[in-house]
Structures are given as structure tokens and as C-alpha cells.
A and B are shown apart, each in its own frame.
Chain A
């Protein structure tokens, strides 16, 4: 079984078909990343496409020094940054507004869960991009601190401080939203 790194090296050599394998493994994660970063569904799909276009374009510059995931998300971050820069301000989108919640919980539990999710997401969406990003990468993309530090090109201690601030802010916003809701 080839690792993602091996697959990307094959793509670099010109065996482009292996990019499909990398796409299948990462498309959901990437899509969710963009959605949680505040883009709507259509834009998130565009960003996934754009990311892979760039992966193809930059394939010859891939070096196996870092993990493929880190390299991919570096490109993804740049893609979404370019987008935000063009838009001028952030497009805040509640990623769960269009979803049907299907579960086996009771209606009241569903309502309560839905309420909580909604508050989390609203709180997350209200954070500045930089803070939102490290929470999304850590909580939803399951990146380790090491990976995130490498991605953001900052040292570990700086990242720890930023993460603490981000979580504090998120908590604060969450409490405000819950208070308002009540």
C-alpha cells in the first residue's frame, strides 16, 4: 500500500493518475476545512478544485521533507487566503444551516443538540480567520501541534499561546451566544 507521500512522488514523476487516489483520500477533509473556515458549499467545492489544480501545477516542487497532508493544507490555506483577500472581508457562513439532522435521539435531545452545535458553529464563525483556522485544523482536521506549527511556519510555543487565546475567545463567544439565546 502506497503512502500519500509515495503517491505524490509518483505524481511528481508524471504518473498523474495517482492524483485521483490522493483526491479521494483528502477531498472530504479539505471540503470540510473550507466549510468550517466560513465558505459556503459552492465556494468550498471551488476551493477544493483550486487546491488540486495548484497541487498539479506545483507537483514538481513537492519534496518529501514534510507530510503530504501538511503540503496539501499549505496550498489549501494559501488558496483560501487568496480568496479572502479578493473578497475584502470574510464570508461568514453557518455550515449547518442547510443540513437535516438525522439521528435516533428524541425530539427534545435533537433540539438541544442542534442548539449546541449551532452555537458552537456560530461562535467559531465569529472568530477572526487566524484563530478560527487553528481550531479547525486541530479539532476538525486532526492536525497535531507539530503539523500546525509547520503549516503556519511558527514555533511550537507561539502556537500554544495562539491556541489558548483562540479557545478562550471561542469559549467567550459561545457563552455570549448561549446567553443571548436564553
Chain B
């Protein structure tokens, strides 16, 4: 019996972790060889040493990166799916058989055959790919929830970055996560308070996709007078004038009339507005 066999057996027992000893024959060999006995003791110490040592944990960023990668891959796959192929127009069969086929009006027969084939295929396909069970749906749903929670965490974390470029990346990341109330709330808070005009401009761009929501429009309207940067103020105004409701547009012109806008913005608006826009 070789030493390596004994070591292999010892590792097997240590991994099992049930405190079993080596078989008698092996143990005798260990007892008779100080060198081997020392190795075995060392292995026992090594296996037991880590039992109460806290394991280093990876950061949440690692999770976030994985889920982002997975989400991107899924999107890419979805967008790469080939469009449903248009039914090709059948050219009339100019051969003799085609002529004969048309002569004897096989159209209804062809249609029937096609229907049988389609139903048959459907039957076969359904048999080999079973419908997802409720359990699977629950698992998938749970996974989706987890992905959403992680996405939210990542977005909020990035929006809290000390560097403007980090927060800018956070705004980009939030674009696909706006359904989450917390993310939207944070974006709107930053719109009023972030020190960087670039971040605030990016937020205007991001929330513009949801302008059909009345509550959001009102919050954007409120934000106009909170802006000290003419570029951000005009970006908000331009967005609401272009895609906002009539009420929003009226309110903007009221701000203009009441001198509540930054001078440069007011001058610019006065130049570009038309009577139709004010109506």
C-alpha cells in the first residue's frame, strides 16, 4: 500500500467530516512511519483550521455586474431574433402538374393538408416541451424579482457615487430601471440637488421617456424654478413644451410672464415662442 493511497483515503474521510478513522491496516502503517504520521496530523490541522475562520465575501458589485451582463445578453438575444418571415408569395406553378393541380381545384385540399400539418406539429411540439409548471414559474418569478432588486441596489449605489462621472453612469444605468419607484424618486431628488449640471441634464433626458405620467410632469414643472443652471432649466422647459400636456405648457408661460425664470432662459423663450405655442 502506497503512502499516496493513505493520503487519498484520509482526504476522503476529512471531506466526509464524520470523524471516521483510517482503516486499521492503513492506521498501522501510519503509526509505523513518523514521516507519514506527521503528514496526517498536518492534514487534520489544515482541514480543521478553517472551520471557524470567516470566509471572505465578494462585494455586491460582483453580483450587480453579473446581473447587468445577463440582462444585456438577454436583451441582445431578444433583439437579434429574426422577424417573423413574411409569407412568400407562391409563384404560380407553370409546370404541367401545376396546371393540372389548379384545374382540379385542390386549393381547399391544400389548405386542409396544411392545417393538419400545423396541428400535428403543434401536438408533437407540445408533447416534447411541457408547459412550465407552477413551481418553475414561481422560481423564474423569484429570480426576476431578485434581479430587479439587485438592479435597484446597483442603480441607487451608482447614483450615490461621490464623483459626477460615477453618478452620470448611474443615471445611464437607471434608464432601464425606472419602473422602480425608489430609483425614480432618487433621480428626481438629484434633479433638484445635484451639484453637476451634467448629471441633471442626463436625468432630464432619462425621465423624458415617461412624460406621459402626469405626476412626473408636475414634478418636472416644480423642478424648473429650482434650477440655477440656464442649460438645465431650458432643457426641462424644452421637454415639457415639446411633449408635455397643455396644462404644463400654460404653466411654463406663466413662469415666463411672472419673471420666475433665469434671465437668459426668459430671453431665449421670448425669442423662440410663437403665438400658437402660447395658446
Contacts and interface: CB of A to CB of B under 8 A. Distances in A.
A51 B214 CA distance: 45
B59 A52 contact: no
A53 B5 CA distance: 38
Given A145-B11, A163-B8, A174-B42, A31 B58 contact: yes
Given A139-B46, A164-B7, A144 B12 contact: yes
Nearest to B62: A45
Contacts of A138: 11, 15
Interface residues of B, number: 43
Contacts of B270: none
Contacts of A131: none
A45 B58 contact: yes
Contact of B7 (A19, A139, A167): A167
Contact of A28 (B12, B58, B140): B58
A117 B69 contact: no
Nearest to A142: B15
Given A20-B146, A160-B5, A163-B11, A45 B46 contact: no
A96 interface: yes
A56 to B, nearest CB: 6
A100 B55 CA distance: 10
B74 interface: yes
Contacts of B39: 167-168, 171
Interface string A116-147: 11001000000000000000001110101100
Task: Say whether chain B's binding surface is mostly helix, strand, loop, or mixed.
Answer: helix
Contacts of B73: 16, 56
B56 A27 contact: no
Interface residues of A, number: 50
A32 B56 contact: yes
Nearest to A105: B52
B13 interface: no
Contact of B147 (A18, A20, A56, A145): A20
A3 B7 CA distance: 31
Interface string A154-180: 000100110110011011001000000
B3 interface: yes
Interface in B19-49: 38-39, 42-43, 45-47, 49
A102 B54 contact: yes
B49 A16 contact: no
B49 A116 contact: yes
Contacts of B147: 20
B213 interface: no
Contacts of A21: 139, 143
B180 interface: no
B11 A120 contact: no
B7 A160 contact: yes
A17 interface: yes
A19 B7 CA distance: 37
B119 interface: no
Nearest to A56: B73
Contacts of A19: 70
A41 interface: yes
B17 to A, nearest CB: 9
Nearest to A166: B7
* 5 closest cross-chain pairs (CB), A and B: A160-B4, A164-B4, A45-B62, A31-B58, A171-B42
Interface of A: 2, 14, 16-21, 23, 27-28, 31-32, 35, 41, 44-45, 48-49, 52-53, 56, 95-96, 98-103, 113, 116-117, 120, 138-140, 142, 144-145, 157, 160-161, 163-164, 167-168, 170-171, 174
Given A18-B143, A101-B54, A167-B42, 15 more contacts: A2-B139, A14-B77, A16-B73, A17-B74, A20-B143, A31-B58, A31-B62, A48-B58, A48-B62, A98-B56, A117-B53, A120-B46, A160-B8, A167-B7, A171-B42
